[in-house]
Amino acid sequence: MNIVKVANYESMSLKACEKLTSFLKTTDNPVLGLATGSTPEGLYRCLIEKQQQGEISFNNTTTFNLDEYVGLKGNDPNSYRYFMNDKLFDHIDIQLENTHIPNGETSDMNAECETFEKELKEKGPVDIQILGLGLNGHIGFNEPGTPFNSRTHVVELDESTRQANSRFFSSIDEVPKHAITMGIDTIMESKEIILLVSGENKAEAVKKLVQGEVTEEFPASILQKHSNVTIIADEAALSQI
Ligand code: GLP
C-alpha cells in the first residue's frame, strides 16, 4: 500500500483532487466509485471548482456509490442520494442517469442488490474507488464480520456505526438500522483504490488497517491484498504508525 502523508484535512482533499483531476483529464469514459461521510466532502468541493473553472468535465463519467441507508427516500436530507446530489452532482456537468447509488426505498432489497451488481458488471469495472474508513474498520457499510467474498448486500448496522452517524440525524432513533452496501469482493474489483483518512480519532483504525492482521473482524484490512491502493492520510490519522 502506498501511504501519502499530508499535513491536514485540506491537503488530504487537495491531494486526492489532484489525482482525480489528472485521471479525468486523460481518460475517455471514466468510472468512479464514490463515498459519502465527512471525509470526502473537501475532495468534492475541489472537484466542483475544477469543473466550474473548465479544467475537467464529468460529461462522460459514470459513478457508483458504495452504499445507501434502507428506508430513507432519495429526497431525505440524510439519504446518501441526497448527500451526493447536494455535495457534488448538482454542481457539476454529470448526467444524473450515469450516477448509481443503491436505492434504499425499494421493497425488494435483494432485487435491488442484484440490479446494482448487474449495472456494475455492464458499466464497470470501477477505475478509481474513493473510500473512507469507519472507526471499527468498516468500508462502505461492511461491518466487522462481513465475509471477504461478499457482493452487494443488505447489512444490519453496528450500534457503534449508528452512534457515529447519529451526528447527522436529530436523534439516534432516526438512524436507520439497515443499509445496502457494495460487498467487500465488489470493492476489491476496483482497479485502483484511494482511501482518505483524517483526524486523530481514526489513528487506531489506520494502524490496524496498515499493520494489523488481515481479518474479517477488521474489514479494511483486506486492502493490504489489493495491488493498487493509495492511502492519503493526515498527520493526526497517522499518529500511531
Ligand atoms: C459511513 C459510510 C462510510 C464512511 C464512514 C466514515 O458510515 N458508510 O462509507 O466511509 O462512515 O465516515 P466519515 O468520513 O464521516 O468519518
For the chain, domain boundaries: 10-211
Residue 153 among the catalytic residues: no
Please write the tens of the pLDDT for every residue from 206-240.
Answer: 999 999 999 999 999 999 999 999 999 999 999 99
Burial per residue of 25-42, b for 16 or more beta-carbon CB atoms within 10 angstroms, e otherwise: eeeeebbbbbbbbebbeb
pLDDT value at residue 142: 97
Nearest CA to ligand 1 atom 6: 134
Could you report the average pLDDT of every consecutive run of 10 residues in the chain (241 residues)?
Answer: 98 98 97 97 98 97 98 94 98 98 94 97 98 96 97 95 93 96 98 98 98 98 98 98 93
Region for 232 from its dihedrals, namely left if φ exceeds 0, alpha if ψ lies in -120 to 50, beta otherwise: beta
- Ligand 1 neighbourhood includes 88 CB (under 6 angstroms): no
Question: Angle CA(225)–CA(226)–CA(230) in degrees, nearest 5?
Answer: 120
Closest approach atom of ligand 1 to CA 157? 7
- Ligand 1 neighbourhood includes 140 CB (under 6 angstroms): yes
Furthest-apart CA atoms within the chain: distance in Å: 46
pTM given for the model: 0.97
Contact by Cβ (8 Å): 107, 71: no
Closest approach atom of ligand 1 to CA 133? 10
Q: What are phi and psi of 97, to 5 degrees?
A: -70, -15
Task: Look up the CATH number of domain 10-211.
Answer: 3.40.50.1360
pLDDT value at residue 60: 97
Give the residue, out of 12, 36, 68, 143, with the most ligand 1 atoms within 8 A of its beta carbon, to mutate for a pocket test: 36
For every residue of 169-214, which 3-state class applies, written as one string? CCCHHHCCCEEEECCHHHHHCCCEEEEEECCHHHHHHHHHHHHCCC
pLDDT value at residue 191: 98
3-class DSSP state for residue 241?
coil
Residue 142 among the catalytic residues: no
pLDDT value at residue 141: 96
ipTM given for this complex: 0.95
DSSP string for 24-85: HHT-SS-EEEE--SSTTHHHHHHHHHHHHTTS---TT-EEEESEEETT--TTSTTSHHHHHH
Hey, what's the cell of 131? 473510500
Q: What are phi and psi of 146, to 5 degrees?
A: -70, 130
Amino acid letter, 200: E
3-class DSSP state for residue 17?
helix
* Dihedral sign from CA coordinates of 135, 138, 143, 148: negative
For residue 107, report the distance from its CA to the centre of ligand 1, in Å.
25
- Ligand 1 neighbourhood includes 67 CB (under 6 angstroms): yes
For residue 220, report the distance from its CA to the centre of ligand 1, in Å.
12
- Ligand 1 neighbourhood includes 187 CB (under 6 angstroms): no
3-class DSSP state for residue 129?
strand
Helices (H) and strands (E) in the chain, counts: 7, 10
Contacts of 116 (CB under 8 A, 6+ apart): 64, 100, 102, 152, 180, 182
- What's the Cα-to-Cα distance from 94 to each of 4, 45, 74, 75, 149, rounded to whole Å? 29, 15, 18, 19, 32
